[in-house]
Structure 1
Amino acid sequence: MTLLGHSWGAQLALLYALEHSERLDGLVYVSGTGIDQNATWHPEYERNLREALGPGSGRWEALSRRDRTDAEDREMSVLQWSADFTERDRALEHADRMATPWFGVNFECNKILSAEGRRRWGTPERGFLRS
């Protein structure tokens, strides 16, 4: 099979491909973060995100630093997702459609999965990215 993963799913697909390459014909890796256990890409990502958010950057930062209501979770997500669209004048509209209907984001789960990924990437039992 050919495996496709996007964003965090790209990380999962990459891990699967590295551990089970004999089961795959190919891997399509879309917008993942790689296997850089030190996240050296993150400062540039943050700069690019803030630039893409433009005037919404301040609101996104304020929301991302505190506990939020469900409506504020949606607002923050729409702002963040809007940065992925090249059609800047319609980016918020496109991101808003992605959030409709709103199913929520499990931020706690994302935090735990990210921590687990950082813990596991590059460890000897993974067999790659050894220092």
Structure 2
Amino acid sequence: MEKGFTLLELLIVVGLLGIITAIGIPQYIGYVDNSNIGLVKNNLRSIYLAEQEYYRKNNIYYRTGATCTDAASNINTNLFSGQNTISNNDFTYCITQTTTDDFTATASEIDGTRNFTINNLNVTNF
């Protein structure tokens, strides 16, 4: 009696692995994406709270500049006392103003597909 696997048995195993992979990888990617979105929402909420404290102390909201570039490091330095609170490699963060009494914090996906915002009235676009 010979020991080993037949070609049919190997093909069945390879087919099952292919099916499991075809189902599992998209699910995993979805979980990772949802996790990133949750992080972005938490970052924007943290910015909102820090902005309220900044306004209380300075009577003006903090802004990152006239143009919306990736200013996460400036936000960390100026709003969070240098702590690395805002970080996400897939998104850029900025804070803009139209007057000294308002702000809009924006998180933009690097590839430009999605934007999330929060403003001084805690109105969100999630």
TM-score norm. by structure 1 comes to 0.26
* TM-score using structure 2 length: 0.27
Structure (1 or 2) with the larger CA radius of gyration = 2
Judging by fraction of residues, say which structure has more strand.
2
